Amino acid sequence: MSSLVLLSMAAAIFLPSPAGRVLVSSPGPRIYLWLPAIVGLGAGSFLIIGKLSVVLAAVIAAGTAAWTLRDIRARASSKRREAAAAAFLGHLSGQLRAGSTIATAVVRAAEEVPESAPAEFSAAVAVVAAQARRGGSAAATLLEESTTAPELAGLGRLWGLADRHGLPLAPLVEQAQSGIDVRVRHRNAISATLQGPQASAITLTLLPVAGIAMGSAMGADPLGLLLGGGLGGVLLVLGLSLVCTGFIWSRKIIGKAAQ
C-alpha cells in the first residue's frame, strides 16, 4: 500500500498538468515528454529495490540522460539549420545576381534546400516562398518564421531594410550568408579547440565509476554500501547529484564558448 501511495505522489509531482501538456506541442524544449519515463523508472526502482535513495539516484541519472540527449539533438539540429540556411541564401543570391525576380528567386532557392534540413526550417522556407509568390512582404514573413528558424531573422531584417530604402537585395543576401559562414567557421574552430576540455569533463564524470570498480577489485563492497540505504544512500544521492550537476554545467560552459 505504501508503494502505491508513493507512486501516486510521484505521478502527482512529476507528471505535467493539462496546461503543461499543451506546451509539449510548442517548439521549445520538450522536457515533459521525458517525465513519464523518469517517474516510471523511479517508481519501478522503488517497487523492485525498496530503497528511497536508489529511487532518487535513478531519477537523477535518468533526468541527466534525458537532458543530455535533448541537448545533443538541439545542437545537431542547429548545425543542420545553419547549413541549410547557408545553402538557401547562396541559391537566393545566385538567382538574384542572375536577374531573376524576387519571387522567382525565393521559390527556386526554396526548392534547393537540402533534404537534411530540419523539418521546421524547410516549413519556414516554404511559407516564405509561398508569401513571395503571392507578392506579399517576404521580410515580415521571414521575421515571423524566425521563431522556428532563427537563422532567417538576419535575412528578414536586411530584407526589410532593402524594402524601406530601395536598396538592392542581392548584396544584403550575400552579407547574411557571409554572417552564417563566419559563425559556422568560428564554431568549428572553437569546437576543435575544446576537444580537450570535453574529454576532461567526460573523464571526471566517469572517475567515480572507476573508483567503485577499484574498490570492488580490492575486496571492498562499495556498491553494497551505496545501495544499502542509510549513510551510503545519502552519499549515493549527494555524489550522483554533484557528478550530474558538474557534467551539465561543463556542457553548458563548453556549448556557450562554442557559439
Domain spans in the chain, listed from the N-terminal domain onward: 80-177
And the C-alpha cell for 205?
564524470
Report how far apart, in Å, the C-alpha atoms of 211 and of each of 208, 243, 246 are: 5, 13, 17
The closest of 135, 131, 93, 129 to 110, measured between CA atoms, is 129
pLDDT digit string, tens, across residues 27-71: 444 555 566 666 666 555 554 545 788 888 989 999 999 999 999
SS3 content of the chain, % helix, strand, coil (to 5): 85, 0, 15
> What letter would DSSP give residue 203?
H
Q: Count, in order, helices (H) and strands (E) of the chain.
A: 12, 0
> pLDDT exceeding 90 applies to what percent of the chain?
10
| Cβ-proximal residues to 225 (8 Å cutoff; 6+ apart), any chain | 231, 232, 235
Task: Please say if the pLDDT value at position 21 is more than 50.
Answer: no
Lowest mean pLDDT among 39-43, 132-136, 154-158: 39-43
Phi, psi of 138 (to 5 degrees): -70, -30
Residues ≥6 apart with Cβ < 8 Å to 229:
51, 52, 53
